[in-house]
Structures are given as C-alpha cells and as structure tokens.
C-alpha cells in the first residue's frame, strides 16, 4: 500500500524496511510488567512528557543486577530516540535511501506498521540518518527529517495525514547537520525550529498542517523547543544557533532573548528548567554552561562557567542538582553541578560520553560505546548501582524508560528492550 509520497505501509511486517526482528524472548515476568504498565506513564515526546528527561515511574533495581533482554530489532541508521504510547513504540531510521518511521509492539518488538519517504543519509562526521525523535499526540505522530520534511501520520495505521517542508513551504534554513529538534505539540499548535528569515520559528495547525504563525530570523539550533512556566508566564523556550529565545507560544512574539554563541552554531542540548524562573543552557566546543534568571520579563545571568560542556545530549535535574556529560562526542565524563552556583560537585571518568535520563532517584545512562550504567543521583559522589554492555556501536540516542521496560538504540539502528 502506498502513501501519497510513495511510502509503503505494511501492517503485517516491515518487509523491505530496516526493521527486522532479531530475537523475541518475552520472559515469564511479562504478567508483572503488564500489571505495572497499567498505571505507568507513556513517553510521548523527546525527553519525556515534560521534556526534562525525568520519568515518574518507580525504578529501584538491585545492586549489580543484570537486566534481561526481551527483544532486539533493527530500525535503521540515526540518532532518533523512541517515543511510546498505547503499547506501541515509534522511532525513525535510515535505510536504502529512505527514512523509515517504524511502529513496533512495545512488549514483543513485533512490527506493526512502517512508513518511508526518500531522504539522504548525509553522514557528516557521524553515521547520519534520522536525527529528530518523533512526537506522539494521541492518534497523530509527527516526524521531522533532517532535510526539513515534516509528516503527520496516523499513529494507529501509519497513514499519511499531511506533510509540509520547512524549507520549500516556509523558507526555513537547514543547519549544517540537519534539522534535529523534536517537534513540539502545544495545544492545537505544532511548533518547529525552522531557522528561516522571517520564519525562524513556526507554528502549524496540528490537524491540517497549515501555518498559524511564524517569527524571527535566527538560525536554527539542534535542541528541542519546550514550553516552560516562567514568572507565571507560559513561555516557549528555544535554543537557536546563536541565542536563547523566550517567545509567546500563542503568536510567536519575542518576550526576551539572551545571546549564546557556540562554534559552528552547535547548540544541541535542550534547555533545562532548574527553578521557577531559572533555565540552564549548555553547549560543547569548550563553551560551557550558564543559568539565567527571568526577572521582570528579562534574562539575567546568574553564573557562567565551563564545568559542564554538553555537546549533544541534555543534562537532567534531580534532587536539586544537575547531572550531565561534560565534553564533546568521543569522550566526556559524567559530572554533577550545583545549579545555584555552577560549582562541580563531582566528576566520574569511568563513564564516557553517551546520553542519560533519570527515574526513581537514579541516573540511567548509556555510554557512547553502548554500556548501560545505573547510578545514584546524589551530590555526595558517584555511586554505581549496575553496569552491563547492551550495545556494540556508537550510541547517542537517549535511553527511554516506559511502562516497566527500558529501550536503548545505537546510531547504526540496533534497538534493544530490557525487562526491569
């Protein structure tokens, strides 16, 4: 069956697509996992429903335990993470000259449907492929390619509902490493970092894809847009190529701006709210980190230093402290910062690069070489709970905990589901 752009959808399997089930061994604990999932939260957006990388699920693994592999699959080349809802997993990857959107059963890993459209691999100093994580909004799934095509799919069937292009339809400007920020659903608006002159940020109607508003002329960054409540004001926060912006999410009006320049305009780590009116931003290339206080509708720099230089993956805020990977890809150590002062509380050199999230007062990190590391989210020092090798290729995608299962994928497209 063909979509309007020629993308084949196969509800029986993924056929010629990249997703091939390698192994499915659902363990005897499946009944317990199902009971747990009834009250657990879905993970519908990059870095979770609130965009901060912290899950509300219970998570308290025994020390030094190994997590069993429930299933493995291949989902195509890329750094797209996963989103989950209604028992299904969605991610994007590249194979055979196309980007594939893959829908799998979250428990068994079995294919449900796939959708594909022609997109270049574009391996620019890394593997290339799909960069942006899909966004799930009820029965709609939004997926952005690195070239700028945004598709809205029916999340149940994979049917193409509408498509637009950030460059050809709205005058967007593709950044050097491609569009990467996950689409943001805010009410009836789909918000995207387009980077165009007069259309740096755009809002589309979620049902039709029609333009609602456009704003600004700043080059696009690589981070995901977020809406934060700052000084009792709903604020759309975007880390652009050279500036942090606060916009009115209803019409795109600029509320405030704060310059933030990084080499090659690689502002990729998503901003992190660390207090009612404070935002932490951080970038690699020895740029560092900064906390801004929004006071009277204006940003004030509280501190700035180089104790956290997050290149691609975003830090988390747990128990009053910030945890993140300091340094560019290919290295970098796990660090803990005091967000009030910027002081580094500790640094752990046994964890190199990678991405992290948090749950139950624990850090869940996958290193760049594919090691899963569980550690206490404590300011007193690094305390490892468990460690095991789960992937074998370079890994940049954020791990996801959803409904009692942990999902990890590497840049070559190997996806693994671990039972907790």
Count of CB atoms situated within 10 Å of the CB of 156 = 15
8 A C-beta contact, residue 80 and residue 134: yes
- pLDDT of amino acid 330: 87
> Does any domain span residue 391?
no
Least confident of 7-21, 54-68, 130-144: 7-21
- Residue 341, phi-psi category: left (phi > 0), alpha (psi -120 to 50), beta (remainder): alpha
8 A C-beta contact, residue 351 and residue 333: yes
Residue 16 scores a pLDDT above 70: no
Q: How many domains does the chain contain in total? A: 1
| pLDDT tens digits, 386-397 | 999 999 999 999
d(CA 374, CA 137): 30
8 A C-beta contact, residue 192 and residue 144: yes
346: exposed, middle or buried (C-beta count within 10 Å: 0-12, 13-18, 19+)?
A: middle
| pLDDT tens digits, 267-283 | 999 999 999 999 999 99
> Does any domain span residue 193?
no
> Does any domain span residue 235?
no
Mean pLDDT in residue range 86-99: 97
Return the closest-CA partner of residue 336 out of 358, 318, 359, 355. Answer: 318
- pLDDT of amino acid 65: 87
Residue 7 scores a pLDDT above 60: no
> Does any domain span residue 410?
no
How many distinct helices (H) and strands (E) make up the chain?
1, 34
Least confident of 36-45, 162-171, 184-193, 267-276: 36-45
Residue 100 scores a pLDDT above 90: yes
Reading the block at residue 373, the tokens are: 């590391």
Mean pLDDT in residue range 127-131: 97
Contacting residues for 340 by C-beta, under 8 A, at least 6 apart: 302
Mean pLDDT in residue range 226-248: 97
- pLDDT of amino acid 22: 41
Mean pLDDT in residue range 238-242: 98
What is the widest separation between alpha-carbon atoms in the chain?
57
| pLDDT tens digits, 25-46 | 333 233 323 322 333 579 999 9
Residue 133 scores a pLDDT above 60: yes
> Does any domain span residue 114?
yes
**Mean pLDDT of all residues belonging to the chain:** 91
The model scores a pTM over 0.85: yes
> Does any domain span residue 229?
no
d(CA 179, CA 303): 30
3-state secondary structure of 30: helix
d(CA 165, CA 98): 16
Mean pLDDT in residue range 166-179: 98
> Does any domain span residue 366?
no
Query: What CATH number should be reported for the domain holding residue 4?
Result: 2.40.10.480
Instruction: Give the domain range for residue 99.
Output: 1-39+72-165
**pLDDT > 90: what percent of the chain?**
87
Q: Any idea what the Cα angle at residue 125 is, between residues 120 and 130, rounded to 5°?
A: 40
d(CA 374, CA 17): 33
């Amino acid at each position: 069956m063909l979509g309007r752009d020629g993308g084949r959808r196969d509800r029986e399997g993924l056929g010629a697509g990249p997703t091939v089930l390698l192994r499915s061994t659902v363990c005897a604990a499946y009944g317990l996992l199902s009971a747990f999932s009834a009250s657990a939260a879905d993970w519908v957006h990059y870095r979770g429903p609130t965009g901060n990388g912290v899950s509300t699920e219970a998570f308290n693994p025994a020390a030094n335990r190994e997590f069993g592999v429930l299933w493995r699959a291949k989902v195509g080349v890329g750094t797209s993470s996963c989103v989950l809802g209604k028992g299904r997993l969605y991610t994007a990857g590249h194979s055979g000259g196309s980007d594939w959107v893959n829908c799998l059963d979250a428990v068994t890993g079995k294919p449900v449907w796939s959708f594909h459209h022609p997109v270049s691999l574009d391996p620019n100093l890394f593997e290339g492929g799909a960069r942006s994580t899909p966004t799930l909004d009820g029965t709609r799934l939004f997926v952005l390619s690195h070239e700028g095509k945004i598709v809205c799919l029916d999340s149940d069937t994979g049917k193409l509902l509408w498509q637009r292009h950030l460059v050809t339809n709205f005058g967007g400007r593709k950044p050097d490493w491609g569009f990467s920020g996950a689409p943001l659903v805010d009410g009836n608006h789909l918000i995207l970092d387009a980077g165009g002159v007069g259309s740096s940020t755009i809002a589309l109607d979620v049902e039709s894809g029609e333009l609602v508003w456009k704003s600004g002329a700043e080059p696009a960054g690589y981070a995901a847009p977020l809406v934060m409540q700052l000084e009792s004001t709903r604020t759309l926060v975007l880390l652009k190529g050279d500036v942090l912006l606060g916009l009115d999410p209803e019409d795109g009006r600029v509320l405030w701006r704060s310059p933030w320049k990084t080499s090659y305009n690689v502002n990729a780590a998503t901003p992190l709210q660390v207090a009612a009116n404070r935002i932490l931003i951080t970038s690699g290339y020895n740029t560092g980190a900064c906390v801004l206080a929004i006071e009277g509708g204006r940003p004030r720099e509280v501190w700035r230093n180089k104790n956290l230089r997050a290149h691609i993956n975003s830090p988390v805020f747990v128990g009053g402290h910030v945890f993140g990977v300091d340094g560019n890809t290919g290295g970098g150590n796990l660090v803990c910062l005091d967000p009030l002062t910027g002081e580094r509380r500790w640094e752990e050199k046994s964890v190199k690069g990678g991405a992290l999230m948090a749950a139950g007062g624990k850090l869940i990190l996958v290193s760049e070489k594919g090691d899963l590391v569980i550690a206490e989210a404590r300011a007193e020092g690094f305390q490892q709970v468990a460690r095991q090798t789960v992937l074998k290729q370079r890994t940049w995608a954020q791990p996801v905990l959803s409904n009692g299962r942990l999902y990890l994928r590497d840049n070559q497209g190997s996806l693994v589901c671990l039972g907790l």
